[in-house]
Amino acid sequence: MKIILFLFAVSVLVINNKVASAQVMRDGNNKTILTKDADVEGSRYLNDKWALGSVSTANGKKLENVYLKYDVYENKLIFKTENSDDEQTFADLVKSFTFKGPPVRNFSNDFPAVAGQKSNVYYEVLSTGKKSLLKSYGKELSEIKTYGSSETVKKFEESESYYVFADGKMLPVKKNKASMLATLSDKSDKIDQFLKAVNLNFKNDDDLKKFFDFYNGL
Give residue limits of the domains in the chain: 23-171, 174-218
Cβ within 8 Å of residue 1, ≥6 positions away: none
For 14-28, 38-52, 120-134, which range has the lowest pLDDT when averaged over its residues?
Answer: 14-28
* Local confidence band at 35 (pLDDT 50, 70, 90 cut-offs): low
Helix or strand run (H / E) with residue 71: strand 62-71
Phi first, then psi, for residue 98 (nearest 5°) are -135, 130
pLDDT at res. 36: 53
* Local confidence band at 165 (pLDDT 50, 70, 90 cut-offs): very high
What is the per-residue pLDDT across 53-93, written as a single tens digit (0 to 9) for each?
Answer: 999 999 999 999 999 999 999 999 999 998 898 999 999 99
Mean pLDDT, the chain, integer: 85
Phi first, then psi, for residue 100 (nearest 5°) are -75, -20
